[in-house]
Amino acid sequence: MNRIDEYIVFQPLDSKQIRRIVEIQLNRVKDRLKQKNINICYTEEAIKLLAALGFDPNFGARPVKRVIQQMVENEIAMGILRGDIKDEDTIILDHIPSAEDVPFQNTLCIRKMENSAMDAMVAND
C-alpha cells in the first residue's frame, strides 16, 4: 500500500498567474472589510508589488498570503485600532516607488480616500 504508483509534475507559475492569486487574496480581504462597512480599492501597481514580494521560485505562491497579511491586513488592522480607519471609509492600496527605484525598497501605501475623490469617482461611474 505505501508505494507511489504515479506522480504529478507541476509547472512553475508565471507572473500573470501570481498577480491573479494576489487579486484573489485581496478580494478576500475586501470581502472581510465589507462586513465592517469599510471599502478597499487597489491599484495595478500595488498588485504588481505584492506579486513580486510574494513570489518565491521554490515555494510558488505560498508566500503571497503571508506578504498580504503582513503588508495589508496588519496595516489596516492597526489603522482601525488607531481610529484612522472607521466605518464607511474607503481606503486605497497603492504602490509608491522609492526615489532610486531600488527593488524591494518600494513602499505599499494604504491611505483613506477623501470625500472629494469619492465624489469624483462616483461621478465617473
Residue 97 belongs to a domain with what CATH number? 1.10.8.60
- With respect to residue 7, please indicate whether it lies within any of the assigned structural domains: no
Domain that holds residue 25: 15-124
Where helices occur in the chain by DSSP H, the ranges are: 15-34, 44-54, 62-68, 74-82, 115-124
| Per-residue confidence band for 15, with pLDDT thresholds at 50, 70 and 90 | confident
Average pLDDT over residues 84-111: 77
Return the pLDDT at 100: 61
- Predicted TM-score (pTM) of the model is 0.76
Question: pLDDT by residue (tens digit) across 16-59?
Answer: 999 999 999 999 999 999 999 999 999 999 999 999 998 887 88
